Structure 1
Amino acid sequence: MVPSEKLTEAEIIWRVMGGEKALYEIIVRRFNPYLYKIGRSYNYNHQDTQDLMQETFIDAYRSLSQFEGRANFKTWIIRIMMNNCYRKKEKSGFKNEVMQDVNDQSTPMFTHTHSDTDSIVQNHELGHIIENALGKIPLDYRMVFSLREINGLNVAETAEMLHISKANVKVRLNRAKTMLRGEIEKTYSASELFEFNLIYCDAMVENVMKEINGL
């Protein structure tokens, strides 16, 4: 039997659709951090973000038959989460942006690779600094930063998610970094932002699985 951590999303979906509902827990645990970061990037509080995550996981479960494997599953489920966030804010989408010169060789904002993630996550003061800093950035730039720097999507995926050009992704990311650079310590990695604590992950799994088992 293949260990659950080695199963691809396509394999999990195929088996879930075949009747193995319990395997959907792997999806929930695997994508909890990504969806949490998206919700928080929209400035939703912890509880509202969890509600949106639960709604997204259930929406995704109901739509598994529509996922044909042509897109990356991470981008597919993030798109569902973003749509739910958009709907909650009654936001129509991003507007056109005036183009400026783009530096394709821009360096990552976070470059330190030897930090202790567990100790940083426990540093609530730092967490508040990061959240507050991102919260002050306009949503257009905040979402590009979240998708590229925090969730690890590439330029093309980010452009597709936000319905903007690749050049606009680079422009917005550079501007977001400029806004944040003066407020956030450069010694912390982007992956440490908005970490989703395992205690919340367990609760999310329990709630989602309870809902889909009733479907």
Structure 2
Amino acid sequence: MTELEVIKRVLNGEKKLYEIIVRRFNPYLYKVGRAYNYNHEDTQDLMQETFIDAYKSLIQFEGRANFKTWIVRIMLNNCYRKKEKLSFKNEIMQDVNDDSKPLFANTNNDTGKIIQNRELAHIIEDALGKIPLDYQMTFSLREINGMNVSETANLLNISEANVKTRLNRAKTMLRNEIEKKYSAQELFEFNLIYCDIIVENVMKKINEL
């Protein structure tokens, strides 16, 4: 089912179908939280909070925007509130073409074959954590979560030109250490063993509403 079909049925009383939304978007929200420098436990808490907030606001989702963008925005807002500040500021605009090659060479889209290497993930996560937060989030949304320029600009409240500028700068900052060694999908993978935990916690809270 599409997200719109699931939402319609959930709003019509089939609460249990919200599990589809949770399972479908767990990996995206996890990557956002980790890219924002929250640890695993805090990220899971933020994910649960986001899914509950999204459930409460489902009636407001009209389908004009992409659901992925909509729910990621809620996650970002929760991350911002936890930090108690907004760190995205106006930058000097530059004309930068978004035609640079990807930082990571993605040669295998089969997620079932993604390398599960904790040491590798730590190295990449640590490198990304050393660059300014503005660039971390732009890189995460574009390269890791697969958002396009327009969606990223909308989520971060900046212009599309600024998205291109930040992304290219982020790649430059990271390239010396990890250029072409690993795929973007290897970053912050949300292990399926955690998925059931999130689903159980979210559905329990929803059933209490």
Shorter-chain TM-score: what band?
A: over 0.9
Q: Which amino acid aligns with 1:114?
A: N
Check the 8 A contact 1:33/1:196 in 2, yes or no: yes
The correspondence for 2:163, drawn from 160, 169, 194, is 169
> Quick check: 2:121–2:186 contact (8 Å CA) kept in 1?
no
How much is the aligned-residue C-alpha RMSD, in angstroms?
1.4
CA shift, 1:104, in A, is 3.0
- Residues 115, 56 of structure 1: CA spacing in aligned structure 2 closer, same or farther, 3 A cutoff? closer
Q: Structure 2: how far apart are the matches of 1:129 and 1:60?
A: 33
Once residues 117 and 66 of structure 1 are traced to their aligned partners in structure 2, the CA distance between those partners, rounded to angstroms, is 33
- Is residue 42 of structure 1 aligned with residue 39 of structure 2? no
Identity, % of aligned pairs?
78
Letter in 2 for 1:139: L
2:74 to 77, 80, 94: 80
- Post-superposition Cα deviations, 1:117-137, rounded to whole Å, max 9, x if no partner, equal 556542111010011011101
Change in Cα spacing, 1:13 to 1:119, as seen in structure 2 (3 Å) is: closer
Superimposed CA distance per residue, residues 78-120 of structure 1 (whole angstroms, 9 cap, x where no aligned partner): 0000000000001134110012231232111112313875565
Structure 1 CA distance for aligned equivalents of residues 113 and 150 of structure 2? 33
**Correspondence for 2:174:** 180
- Map 1:11-90; keep pairs closer than 5 Å: 11-90=5-84
2:154 & 2:17 partners in 1: Cα distance? 29
Q: Which one of the candidate residues 93, 101, 107 is aligned to 1:107?
A: 101
The answer to which of 112-121 and 146-155 deviates more is 112-121
CA distance in 2, matches of 1:59, 1:121: 33
Q: Rate the CA distance shift 1:183–1:26 in 2: closer, same or farther, 3 A.
A: same
Give the aligned residue type for 2:37.
N
Measured in 1, the distance between the counterparts of 2:47 and 2:98 equals 33
1:103-142 aligned at under 5 Å gives the runs 103-114=97-108, 120-142=114-136
Work out whether residues 121 and 127 of structure 1, in 8 Å CA contact, stay in contact via their aligned partners in 2: no
Deviations 1:158-205 (A, max 9, x none): 001101111000000000001111122513221221110011111000
- Greater Cα shift, 91-100 or 200-209: 91-100
- Gaps in structure 1 of 5+ consecutive residues: 1-6
Which amino acid in 2 is paired with 1:85? C
Q: Which runs of structure 1 show a deviation greater than 3 angstroms over 4 or more consecutive aligned residues?
A: 114-121
Asked if 1 retains the 8 angstrom alpha-carbon contact of 2:103 and 2:179, the reply is no
TM-score normalized by the length of structure 2: 0.96
Q: CA separation of 1:206/1:75 partners in 2, compared to 1, >3 Å: closer, same or farther?
A: same
1:3: which partner in 2? Answer: none
Given that 2:35 and 2:136 are in contact with CA atoms closer than 8 Å, whether structure 1 keeps it comes out as yes
Where does residue 9 of structure 1 map in the other structure? 3
Partner Cα distance (2:95, 2:176) in 1:
22
1:160 and 2:154 aligned: yes
Distance 1:123 1:66 in 2: 40
Deviation, 1:35, is: 0.2
